[in-house]
A and B are shown apart, each in its own frame.
Chain A
Amino acid sequence: MNQIKPTKSIGIRKPLVDGPEKVSGKALYSADFIPADCLVGRIFRSPISHGEIIEVDVSKAEALPGVKAVITGDVTDETFGVLPIARFEYPLARDKVRYKGEPVACVAAIDAETAQKAIELIKFNYKELPAYFTSKDAMAKGSVNIHDHREGNIERDVDFDLGETDGGLKAADLIMEETYNCAEVAQVQSEPHAAIAEYDAIRDFMTVRASTQVPYYGHKMLAKTLKMQESKVRMIKPFVGGGFGCRTECLNVELICALAARAAQGTVRIVTSREETFITHRGRPETDVEIKIGVKKNGLITAVDFKAIQRGGAYSGYGVVTILYAGGLMFGVYNLPAVRYRGLRVLTNTPPPGAMRGHGTTDVRYAFESLLDKIANELGIDAIEIRRRNLLKAPKYETLNEMFINSYGLPECLDWVEEKSGWKERKGKLGPNRGLGVACAHYPSGASKPVNWTGEPHATVHLKLDWDGSITLLTGAPEIGQGSTTMATQCAAEILGLDMSRFQSLTSDSKLTPKDNGSYSSRVTYMVGNASIDAATNLKNILIEAAARKLEVKPEDIECLGEIYRAGTQDDGLNFNEVVQAALEGTGTITVKGNYDTLPESWGTKKYRGGAISGSMAYAYAAQVVEVSIDPDTAEITVEKVWAAQDVGKALNPLAVEGQIEGSVWMGMGQAISEGTQYVNGLGITNSMLDYRVPTIIESPPIEVGIIESIDPHGPFGAKEAGETSLVAFIPALTNAIADAIGVRPIDLPVTPDRLLQLMEDYQKTEKAAE
């Protein structure tokens, strides 16, 4: 017998299984489906920010030759929304419009010119209402309610007080406080939103392809707004050009497209412009954080008291979850004996934000880590040291809000960045206008309680084994570029000891693949990975039994070597195809199922309303050190180097993990130094990729990634989240580095050169005044 061993797939740098299609141009995204007979859908959008709809006159548009359908809010009185408790949005506005650019009507025509002409023929009569573009204005006394059922334009007011916050503050030797404003930011994913809906009038059947992270939620909302049976809808997610949370809920685009297709009794394709993609929004809300931290002289935190106000836009979306995350995720990084939180989610006449990468926690973590840094300076404690002193005594550790923390690699992350950055030797010795900063963060590995509570498992994976010896992995998990299909394949291949080339995959087609909740809150690796392991284990057991029958031994005597199953080291055994043949005898093609469910201990706290939000099976941790230099004349910020350590539990695919961490750091850099949406009277003035400044390859900093593996006891092979945590850590690490470089501490985001220059000038003035 030669050296046959099971093939390893876990922990190995694996290119993505769908890579060849992407690099060759063969990968089809939603906008790439262009059937010859499809109609062009165009959306008529509200020219005002807030108003009552008096009439949408589409008669002239309908009469235009080449127009096949024009729909308005009359087309459906069913609302949509991701949270069952907050579905107040119509695909096309009815009664009122609440933000500039809100969809009001849709034209389906034979070509783009005709559709555009028809749009121009629509007459929109309205009565304008007062509009509010800031949280403050919307909450002001006497403001008109944007939604009748939300008095004072408060979407949700949440609070908790855990531990003895007042006592903790009283016992503190030093209390510092600050108010931070963080601009609204957008994902600016590469692919603008697109959908193509094919309505089969004879069968009354709807097939929709859309750029989404959540085909299951989309499917549900399609059935709801179309008032069709869920079984009469097929939802397919083709290749998707990035998400970062902008497609974490069903968007109006796919709903309007399907409604127009049914009205036109045909196929309608809507490809939104970049400007429309910005208007559809679902980015990170503008957030004001007021925070107060009390510490003892030795740097130990005694209490945190903070408040977050989020400008929530015109509709709820994920808003209630976002404002709860902002509170709940204060816990879990450090040992906090007392925390008080108040969160206000405010309705405004701006496009609705959503669940952007680092959902809920990013801006609050920025505020916390900035203030902690300031405190360290004040106390004369090293910035890494103060963080070390406040670490959790984990694992296994339970926070005041009963987080389920079984793996905690943050201490190792801090050690790694301290060593690699030469922190001890270099800090404070880099010369003028150059500095080092550190910060920490965490992020859940999926919400333990799903948005839609159905009693079904969190994740289900199917493996189909057929006569040819190939295995097809079927998963509803939406591959959006993060590598989820590769991850699920690796998990199954590792269990079976087979090379990944034996596997093919089929993803996110409601007709073929098992349901999956979607790609959001970093749930896929943890939950779908575990389901894939379960499915492969079930398949392996079937193969072992088949081999045992064939070799006439007991199943427990069979040794599985991947391509060979044998009954002892002297046995030649059966090759894989022989085992497959034995397994299929009398039963035919085999499809096995694997499931995953979270443990009730991870479902969050009952101590306050909404305490389930932030409950997760595991949290990933990050520590980062950023080195920065500042041009003293222009205040231009150059990120010289980033050391990014993240505890990902286990790097199933170190190549993909690096890619996620590098991408996170870079996206965080955009939010930190240049990105922010701007509105003038509700009109977005940064709705292009030139006006909304994302960093380019020129500014892309060198990033050294440190993968820390704490091996989570419940994660798939120990794995946890890899794609969000490092974004959260970057922003405060950068601003802390700026403070170290020039003695001026940025407060509001983004830290643009003109803002920083102003801070530097003010600082110089006060320095002079002090002399």
Chain B
Amino acid sequence: MGEKRNKTHLHCTVNGKERDNFVPDNMLLVDYLREDLDLTGTKIGCDGGECGCCTVLIGGAPQHACLRLAATCQELDIETIESLSDASRLSALQRGFHEKLGAQCGFCTPGMIMAAEGLLRQNPNPSEEQIRQGLASNICRCTGYIKIIESVQFAIGELKLAGNAT
């Protein structure tokens, strides 16, 4: 058996649900989400901090889950791609990425959408330039980004309509 790793009791909230787990001190947040919680929507595309595929929201702000130890997330609120849609409806951003073809292979998509989600919560009406800045840490190899920008703009429009309706 490999050496026993020191473990820490982690208490945090993931996708609105309170979690209590013992996690090895050297476990990355992304591995905790994927392997302990089975939230495999968050992807790993590189060896650390390069691609943005593992972007999640921590306290509402986009962060790379591969650059963060799970044990440092005590009492924090973590959101992953799985939290965005309810059982019957995709979120506006998810609809945007589907309808406007912001997702081709889909591997960078969860991270891209979470980065966009973080951006829109902070700034519900970003300019194209601000969208580019907000997604600059996320690499997509399929789309050339044009349809990603259009996807985010679609969501902005949908959210505005929904805001006017209520």
Give the shortest distance, in Å, between B65 (CB) and chain A (any CB). Answer: 13
Please give, as numbers and ranges, the residues of chain A lying within 8 Å of B146 by CB-CB distance.
662, 700, 702-703
User: Shortest distance in angstroms between A465's beta carbon and chain B's nearest beta carbon?
Assistant: 27
Chain A residue with Cβ nearest B50 = A689
A698 interface residue, CB < 8 Å from B?
Answer: yes
B143 interface neighbour in A20, A31, A659, A689, Cβ under 8 Å:
A659
- B148: chain A residues at CB < 8 Å are 697
Q: How far is the CB of B116 from the nearest CB of chain A, in Å?
A: 11
Specify which chain A residues have a CB less than 8 angstroms from the CB of B102 in the assembled complex. Answer: 23
A-B contact pairs, 28 of them (CB 8 A): A20-B94, A22-B97, A23-B94, A23-B95, A23-B106, A24-B41, A24-B84, A25-B39, A25-B40, A25-B82, A34-B34, A34-B40, A65-B1, A110-B2, A187-B141, A190-B45, A190-B139, A242-B107, A274-B47, A274-B50, A480-B105, A659-B142, A662-B146, A663-B141, A689-B45, A697-B149, A698-B132, A700-B144
In chain A, positions 673-718 with a C-beta closer than 8 Å to chain B are 688-690, 694, 696-698, 700, 702-703
Residue of B nearest to A189 (CB): B141
Contacting A at CB under 8 A, from B89-108, are: 90, 94-95, 97-99, 101-108
Give the docked Cα–Cα distance between A32 and B82 (Å): 14
CB within 8 Å for A242 and B141 given contacts A192-B45, A696-B136: yes
Q: State whether B98 touches A20 (Cβ < 8 A).
A: yes
Interface-lining segment among A111-119, A509-517, A528-536, A626-634: A111-119
Task: Give Cα A13 to B101, complex, Å.
Answer: 10
Q: Contact between B42 and A659 (Cβ–Cβ < 8 Å)?
A: no
Which among A32, A66, A664 has the greatest number of chain B C-beta atoms within 10 A? A32
Q: Mark A106-127, 1 if CB is under 8 A from B, else 0.
A: 0001110110010000000000
Across-interface contacts of B149 in A (CB, < 8 A): 697
A-B contacts besides A191-B45, A274-B46, A700-B146, 12 pairs, CB < 8 Å: A23-B90, A25-B42, A190-B108, A190-B142, A239-B106, A274-B45, A658-B147, A659-B104, A662-B144, A664-B144, A697-B138, A700-B145
User: Which of A65, A187, A689 contacts B139, CB < 8 Å?
Assistant: A689
Contact with B along A207-249 (1 / 0, CB 8 A): 0000000000000000000000000000000011111100000
B94/A15 in contact, CB under 8 A: no
Q: CB within 8 A of B107: which of A114, A190, A689, A698?
A: A190
Judged by a CB distance under 8 angstroms, whether A655 is at the interface is yes
Residue numbers in B under 8 Å from A114 (CB-CB)? 1-2
Residues of A within 8 A of B141 (CB): 187-190, 242, 244, 663, 667, 694
From B38, B53, B147, A662 is in contact (CB under 8 Å) with B147
| Residues of A close to B80: CB separation below 8 A | 25
Q: Which chain A residues (1-51) contact chain B, with CB distance < 8 Å?
A: 15-16, 18-29, 31-32, 34
Closest chain B residue to A118, Cβ basis: B2
Chain A residues bordering chain B, tally (CB within 8 A): 65
Q: Is A337 an interface residue (CB 8 A)?
A: no
Q: B35 to nearest A CB, angstroms?
A: 6
User: B98 and A19: CB pair below 8 A?
Assistant: yes
